[in-house]
Amino acid sequence: MAEKVLVVGSGGREHALAWKLAQSPQIQQVLVAPGNAGTASCGKISNSEVSVSNHAILAQFCMVDDLTAAGVPCFGPSAKAAQLEASKSFSKAFMERHGIPTARYGSFTDPQEACRYIRTADFPALVVKASGLAAGKGVIVAPDQDEACQAVMDIMQDRAFGTAGETVVVEELLEGEEVSCLCFTDGSSVSPMPPAQDHKRLQDGDLGPNTGVLYAGLMLTKQGPKVLEFNCRFGDPECQVLLPLLKSDLYEVILNTLNGKLVSTAPVWHQDSSAVTVVMASAGYPGSYKKGVEITGLSQVQDSGLQVFHAGTALKGGGVVSSGGRVLTVTAVGPSLETALQAANQGVAAIGFPGAVYRRDIGHRAIAHLNLHRGLTYKDSGVDIAAGNKLVDMIKPLAKATSRAGCNAELGGFAGLFDLKAAGFVDPILVSGTDGVGTKLKIAQACSQHGGLGQDLVAMCVNDVLAQGAEPLFFLDYFSCGSLDVDIAASVVGGTAEMPGVYAPGEYDLAGFCVGAVERGALLPRLGDIAEGDLLIGLASSGVHSNGFSLVRKVLERANLSYSSPSPFGKSGQTVGEVLLTPTKIYSRLLLPILRSGAVKAYAHITGGGLLENIPRVLPRELAVDLDASRWSIPPVFSWLQKEGGLSEEEMTRTFNCGLGAVLVVAPLDAQRVLHQLQAHEEAWIVGSLAHKQQGSDPVVVRNLKHSLLNVGPASSGGEMGVEHNGGCHGNITIPRKRTRVAVLISGTEIVVVISNRPGVQGLKRASLAGIQTRVVDHKLYGSRAEFDGTIDRVLGEFGVELVCLAGFMRILSGTFVKKWNGKLLNIHPSLLPSFKGVNAQKQALQAGEEVDAGAIVAQEAVPVLGSDTEESLSDRIREAEHRAFPAALELVASGAVRLGEDGHIMWTSSSQS
């Protein structure tokens, strides 16, 4: 779903953020409040008149525009974390407490003590800072002790920076190159941005007053890097120089940061590029300056490919005029720092307004450093050993987390060891497999989404080893690239090798190797046991998995779709690339216990060769496969590929898995038991059977494929599926399959949700990770229950919801709401018997009136009370029963098998009665 985003602010930083956000295909509109002339009307970007000083109005504005149903997801620091920037005294104490290298300092509330410190310190204490926020101007670097003391008096006695100067910090003067190091962080991981260097003083040669913002800045001293201070936001103008280098979708980066996904989906930056931003200021800045000065040449600069970010500008009489000290910035991106600086200076020269002040030597120190003669290194040839070592350090915790009994290996060593006896094997046979992910890599690289490829690689190898009945023991992978990007490699997770000149920039290749073991008597397939009449159980795939992507790319080319286009298949709001990069399912954890039970005679992993070639690989030659495509669920992506590509049924079944990631061969007597074991964790169906193969006939026949591709969704013969129901009546019921739009309302953290009245609960995070939309409707923000329920009702209407599940939702819904959704609300709670006593218990149960947590019973399950039970153990088993009963009830209601009659009692459809 296309989103609307509000950016609060009016400077160049906010213009840059809006500009980058507007490039996201997931965003419909970017509103800037109050904005400036550059954000007034520019494609998706427009200004808003919402009052940014009134937080309540601002939040309500956001809710009205559907950014959220209640409350706004926040990309920024908590109040506690923001103290790192808001109080320099707090920040210095924090660094000292945690052993972070920084300048020696003292913090003072008495100006006389501060001056005494300046004159007696055994180091030059000549940097004086107002401890609070001072709009980036509360830092004075003094040339001598007298001026440092005068700065203290100006700040503390004359109140040069207001209340920000009630406390001052006096620091050691550090010498060296200053570097601004910004990063994204989700609270548990950090993804660095390219380093930037701010030129804070107004005039060439670093002369004039300090007009910039001191950042999460490092000073590269002779004693090593030292932290100057921390900020908790994008800087200005650092934001304007960094965002043009960001290759990833900024909106996706923000979402990944909010959802804790930075480790698996790190932002990607343009390689081998440099950016330079030049600030143009009003005459007299940072002192008094004139406003309303006309600005010319803006369109000419934009047409030359440069980016102008407005700050202190306004619209007047159809033109743009100055309205602040920092007027605008010109940003240029080039293959080198020199070319970028030259282009930026040319852009600045083309823009005219009287008295404009700007520097012509931006980047001079960096260019001088780069021009120093250096001897050649291995890195100059394209191989970065340090980056490789950094990657190994980054992925060591990930590798350790997957270690198991018998594994004795240290990442970074020459080889790995495995002790089969320690793993519990008696008479093992080793099984090995190797595979890659094919041209799915090309799509991942084009989309800059690499996080799922590691799972793809493991799945392709592990699922193959399972076909022999083997337990996967350890996994090796090989990652090769032209130039090592540590963040990308870490998200893929693999061994690395740089091969300059072999791969184009941004390209890499993957290979995986899995070794497993199986006891000699448990090898699969058991060819001698497989017989005519055996049944085939299919396990659901998650989509295309990692096969057939060369054909997929051809179909996309024919359909004129890009990877960033809204997907005509998959969930609403997803792009083509997102759907296609859905990771391959790994079946080992689910299948190993079932394989060890002996019920499975053979297992086929559906990879390259599709259904036609993979299943016969595990069967005797005299047997043929009869598959019925109407019996399993075919993901929409396959229907779209078949239609757009004009693909034949044979091409579809030979190239793709068509919705079946794996197929098991079982005896008819074992089929239902195995099917139920699988369905407890994964979608699975009985999809066919084995028959004697006639001479000259095909080894695999797939019936009803064309019909099923046209009517995506599972169906057994006649378009219905059988479901066993044990309740008031015994026997089988048939449930017509149809798609129903369902919403889940929660207050707690137990299950996947859509709507919650509490922000930040685990259920919301799980829903986001599963790709499900979430909304928070905080009841504390509403004056009445009716107003609260009305908002929920509007959100349900927005999503076209047909059925509502209440899962631990701790708010009592109003009678009006319940009446509107009568027959469309499902709730669950334990009912401890005996609820009704005496000889009339049955009559009482049938006549039970409507009350809170009451209603007609769709499904129920008995949980016995054991003599050894504690409250905790009984609660755990009740919860397990709930997790079985709720989906069953949902299936019955969503399918139309049961409904609520006008008298409030359950009514079963005639086709579902046994």
Between the CA of residue 914 and those of 479, 717, 892, what are the distances in Å?
58, 18, 14
**Residues 362, 196: Cα–Cα separation, whole Å:** 12
Tell me how crowded residue 770 is: count the other CB atoms within 10 A of its CB. 9
**Residues 325, 281: Cα–Cα separation, whole Å:** 6
Give the position of tokens 């094919």: 438
Single-letter amino acid code for the residue at 428: P
Q: Which residues contact 471 (CB under 8 A, 6 or more apart)?
A: 516, 517, 518, 588, 592
Single-letter amino acid code for the residue at 714: P
**Residues 437, 444: Cα–Cα separation, whole Å:** 11
Catalytic residue among 707, 829, 883, 905: 829
Strands 207-210 and 201-203: antiparallel
Burial of 175 (0-12, 13-18, 19+ CB in 10 A): exposed
In which order are the strands placed within the sheet that holds 660-666?
600-605, 660-666, 535-540, 684-692, 623-628, 700-703
Cis peptide before 714 (omega within 30 of 0): no
**Residues 289, 576: Cα–Cα separation, whole Å:** 51
Alpha-helical (H) ranges within 527-667 are 549-558, 576-580, 588-596, 610-614, 636-645, 649-655
Is residue 629 within 8 A of residue 717, CB to CB? The reply is no
Between the CA of residue 327 and those of 36, 45, 303, 309, 311, what are the distances in Å?
10, 19, 20, 9, 5
Alpha-helical (H) ranges within 121-263 are 145-156, 238-242, 250-258
Is residue 348 within 8 A of residue 363, CB to CB? The reply is no
**Residues 478, 509: Cα–Cα separation, whole Å:** 8
Q: Tell me the sheet residues that pair with 537.
A: 664, 686
HEC per residue, 257-316: HHCCCCCCCCCCECCCCEEEEEEEECCCCCCCCCCCCEEECHHHHHHCCCEEEECCEEEE
As given in the structure block, the two tokens for residue 24 are: 């996201």
As given in the structure block, the two tokens for residue 154 are: 């100006």
Known catalytic membership, residue 829: yes
Strands 41-42 and 45-47: antiparallel
Catalytic residues: 829
